[in-house]
Amino acid sequence: MEEVGSAEASIEVDRDQLAEAFRLLKRHARPKRTTVTVLSREGEDLVVQSGGVETRARMLGRWEGEARVRGVMLFDAVKGFALERDAKIRVENGRLVFETFSMPCDWERNTAPRVLIPIGASLLDILRLAERFTDEELERNGVLDTVRDARRKRTRLIRAGARELQLLQVSEDDLVALVDQKLRVEE
């Protein structure tokens, strides 16, 4: 693995594993313009996390932190390259460089706790993330929009439930307390 200029991180990733990782992410995470994709290292794997979904690809090189990229540009870059060999990825001067394509990224050596949303997570599972992690941690992991959507849905459901239960004198506050109690109970 050759060092490239002033790169903060420089790796080679198995092309087949990388292509499969992004294919799975695109299908399960459904990235949008506001999605944050996080690239980090765990053991000998490059971990790619987007929308609370995580995939891995075997890597070789130096990657001691997290690169965060917004939007779907990275997905388009991976799809656009027909790799005949392992992919070269590096972080240099605030940019994530994938082969010959680069995009802005935030590089940070200190990493936040990992936040993952299981496939098929319930509304309660997603709301529990807001109880365990700060909005900053959720944002750094690319799941804050998902949690905000869950909070809005919770509010809509509570309001609708209170309207339906009005004759039984059940208020929005009663339902908020019930849902909050349910959130504290792990299933």
127 and 83 in one domain?
Answer: no
127 and 104 in one domain?
Answer: no
Q: How many domains does the chain have?
A: 2
Instruction: Output the pLDDT for position 1.
Output: 32
Whether 31 has a pLDDT exceeding 70, the answer reads no
Instruction: Output the pLDDT for position 5.
Output: 45
15 and 104 in one domain?
Answer: yes
Contact 20, 14 (CB under 8 A): no
Q: Which of 50, 84, 108 is the last residue of a domain?
A: 108
Q: Which of 75, 108, 141 is the last residue of a domain?
A: 108
**Enclosing H/E stretch for 60:** strand 53-62
138 and 161 in one domain?
Answer: yes
- Nearest Cα to 14, choosing from 78, 74, 102? 78
d(CA 145, CA 128): 14
92 and 20 in one domain?
Answer: yes
For residue 91, give the DSSP letter.
E
Has residue 131 been placed in a domain? yes
d(CA 118, CA 35): 17
Has residue 161 been placed in a domain? yes
Instruction: Output the pLDDT for position 3.
Output: 38
Has residue 118 been placed in a domain? no
Whether 37 has a pLDDT exceeding 60, the answer reads yes
Q: How confident is the model at residue 152 (pLDDT cuts 50, 70, 90)?
A: very high
Tens-place pLDDT, residues 82-137:
556 778 888 988 898 887 788 898 888 756 667 778 778 899 999 998 888 888 88
Highest mean pLDDT among 2-6, 135-139, 153-157: 153-157
Has residue 87 been placed in a domain? yes
Instruction: Output the pLDDT for position 4.
Output: 38
Identify the CATH number of the domain in which residue 72 sits. 3.10.150.10
Instruction: Output the pLDDT for position 2.
Output: 37
Has residue 21 been placed in a domain? yes
d(CA 42, CA 176): 39
112-116, 133-137, 153-157, 179-183: segment of lowest average pLDDT: 112-116
- Residues 148-154: what's their mean pLDDT? 95
72 and 21 in one domain?
Answer: yes
Q: Which domain holds residue 144?
A: 123-184
104 and 61 in one domain?
Answer: yes
Has residue 114 been placed in a domain? no
Burial of 119: CB neighbours in 10 Å, binned 0-12, 13-18, 19+: exposed
- Residues 55-72: what's their mean pLDDT? 84
- Residues 9-14: what's their mean pLDDT? 85
**The dihedral sign for the CA sequence 148, 149, 153, 159:** positive
